[in-house]
Structure 1
Amino acid sequence: MSNLINVPKNGSLSNTNSNLNFPSWSSWIDEIFNRDLPSVFSSNFNTGITLPKVNIRETSDAYFVDMAVPGMKKSDFEINLEDQLLSISTQANEENEYEDESFTRREFGYSAFKRTFTIPETINEEKIKAKYNDGILSIHLPKKEEAKQKPPKTITIS
Structure 2
Amino acid sequence: MDFTNFGFDSRLLSTLQDMLDFPDDHEKPTQNNPTRAYVRDTKAMAATPADVKEYPNSYVFIVDMPGIKATEIKVQLENDNVLVVSGERKRDKEKDEKEGVKYLRMERRVGKFMRKFVLPDNANMDAISAVCKDGVLQVTVEKLPAPEPKRPKTIQVKLA
- TM-score bracket relative to the smaller structure: 0.5 to 0.7
The root-mean-square deviation of aligned C-alpha atoms, in Å, is 2.8
Q: Which has the higher strand share?
A: 1
Q: 1:124 maps to which residue?
A: 124
Q: What is the deviation of 1:61?
A: 0.8
- CA-to-aligned-CA distance 1:69-118 (integer Å, 9 cap, x gap): 2222101211111221111111232212146xxxx6677x9511221110
TM superposition shift of 1:136? 0.9
Alignment of 1:14-33 (within 5 A): none
TM-score relative to the length of structure 2: 0.52
Structure showing greater Rg: 1
1:59 paired residue among 34, 40, 55: 55
Is the contact between residue 68 and residue 87 of structure 2 (CA under 8 Å) also seen in structure 1? no
* Structure 1 residue runs without a partner (length 5+): 1-47, 148-158
2-side partners of 1:106 and 1:98: how far apart?
A: 11
- Structure 1 position 138 matched with structure 2 position 126: no
Segments of structure 2 that go 5 or more residues without pairing to the other structure are 1-42, 104-108, 148-160
Number of matched pairs: 97
Task: Summarize the Cα distance change of 1:121–1:52 in structure 2 as closer, same or farther, 3 Å threshold.
Answer: same
Whether contact under 8 Å (1:91, 1:110) holds in the other structure is yes
What is residue 13 of structure 1 aligned with on the other side? none
Amino acid aligned to 2:136: I
Q: Which of residues 58, 71, 77 in structure 2 aligns to 1:75?
A: 71
Matching residue of 1:37 = none
Query: Using the alignment, how far apart are the partners of 1:97 and 1:116 within structure 2?
Result: 35
Tell me which residue corresponds to 2:34. none
Q: Is the 8 A contact 1:85 1:117 kept in 2?
A: yes
- Could you tell me the percent identity over the aligned residues? 23
Once residues 112 and 78 of structure 2 are traced to their aligned partners in structure 1, the CA distance between those partners, rounded to angstroms, is 21
Higher share of residues assigned helix: 2
Kindly report which structure 2 residues correspond to 1:2-41, keeping only aligned pairs within 5 A, or say none: none
**8 Å CA contact retained: 1:98, 1:106:** no
Distance (whole Å) between structure 1 residues aligned to residue 63 and residue 101 of structure 2: 34
